[in-house]
Amino acid sequence: MYFDNASTTRVCDEAAAAALRVMTVNYGNPSSTHTLGREARRELDTARRAVARALGASENEIFFTSGGTEGDNWAIFGGAEARRHTGRHIITSPTEHDAVLKPIENLRAAGYEVTYLRPEASGAISPEKVAAALRSDTALISLMMVNNETGAVTDIPAIREILNREKSEALLHTDAVQGFLKVPFAAKSLGADLITISAHKIHGAKGAGALYIRRALRFPPQFLGGGQESGLRSGTEGLPQIAAFGEAAKVGFEKMRESAAFMEELRSHILGRLTIGIPGIITVDGGAPHILSVSLPGYKSEVLMNYLEARDIFVSKSSACKKGGRSHVLAAIGLKNEVIDGALRISLSRYTTPEECDALCDAIHDAVRELFTVLR
């Protein structure tokens, strides 16, 4: 039973079929002019059209990448370069993904000044704090739409309104990897200049993603070479993953309203069951339909995960896995160390079943009873 969908999702049948078709039938190079090349080009165009439709964007605003990390890096470094004459000030938050934080840290080391906005208790970033931090030399703002640990939703359209009101030249980037096809939005109404999305979070294959670049925005290329992706990301496209991405986006867009309502119902059910009968449990409910962070202070995430895994139930912990480090997200929203150390992230998909959710809740209740004498 899989509850780690914020990490990666099961590839849907439609996406798997598309990848197989491109690997075994329409396997030409999209840049070739012969028949197989033209068939491959049609696959590429079809995928771009599907992703653009799901994102509410134009096809010429979608540039395929290898995934969310590349998209974030390109947006940060490219955004700073594109607005180099505006200034050297960046606004972000300490709850961003490392794919945003580490490039920004690189720019800070190179002389940029960075303002890290303190998040609300849910992990969301207040637009008012953006307004207070905005300066005439602000070149880039990068804030995650849906936090990957708490599910907190930041109001990106409100931030765009602030930039318009202040006539700011700053570029607005949002990492929408966890928001795409989970919470409703369209690129054109969202207002971000740059939007990062990833295929494997929406039942596509790993190794594909996209960066939305607002039309008419002059943006530096990611790679130089043969001129693919309108000259902004050269290199032969990873067409099997891209074709799968297109199918996953098409299916996900068609089912988004139904899927979001279904996941919201499951999340509410889990939340209700866990808060009954478990004294002291702490929850961080950010509002996205597919993510719930819970903590059992006094217990250890690793022990709880091992207990659940013994029952074939798979969750993740919010604490960082490397070198004993704690979750920077939960630390930033002010949770105590003992709360962070006992945190679990439960994340859902449209394939999650009510029966699986009940099995998860039963197992966590059992863990609390059985591990109590061991850990106290």
pLDDT in tens, 182-226: 999 999 999 999 999 999 999 999 999 999 999 999 999 999 999
pLDDT at 33 over 70: yes
pLDDT higher for 235 or 326?
235
Q: Does 361 qualify as catalytic in the annotation?
A: no
Confidence of residue 298 (pLDDT cuts 50, 70, 90): confident
Mean pLDDT of 310-323: 74
Instruction: Give the model's pLDDT for residue 375.
Output: 44
Q: Specify the 3-state DSSP secondary structure of 80.
A: helix
Q: Considering only 2-16, 50-64, 67-81, 334-348, which range has the smallest mean pLDDT?
A: 334-348
What is the C-alpha to C-alpha distance for residues 243 and 253, in angstroms, rounded to an integer? Answer: 15
pLDDT at 1 over 80: yes
Is the domain spanning 256-371 CATH 3.90.25.10? The answer is no
Instruction: Give the model's pLDDT for residue 285.
Output: 84
> What is the dotted CATH code of the domain comprising 13-252?
3.40.640.10
b or e along 362-375 (b: 16 or more beta carbons within 10 Å of the residue's beta carbon)?
ebbeebbeebeeee
Mean pLDDT of 40-68: 98
pLDDT, tens digit, 9 for 90 and up, residues 85-99: 999 999 999 999 999
pLDDT, tens digit, 9 for 90 and up, residues 149-166: 999 999 999 999 999 999
Instruction: Give the model's pLDDT for residue 234.
Output: 97
Name the burial class of residue 133, with classes exposed (0-12), middle (13-18) and buried (19+) by CB atoms within 10 angstroms of its CB.
middle
Instruction: Say whether 256-371 and 13-252 share the same fold.
Output: no
pLDDT at 324 over 60: no
Q: Are strands 194-198 and 209-213 parallel, antiparallel or unpaired?
A: antiparallel
Instruction: Give the model's pLDDT for residue 318.
Output: 62
Instruction: Give the model's pLDDT for residue 323.
Output: 47
Instruction: Give the model's pLDDT for residue 106.
Output: 98
Mean pLDDT of 51-73: 98
| Residue ranges per structural domain of the chain | 13-252, 256-371
Nearest to 172 by CA among 132, 213, 119: 213
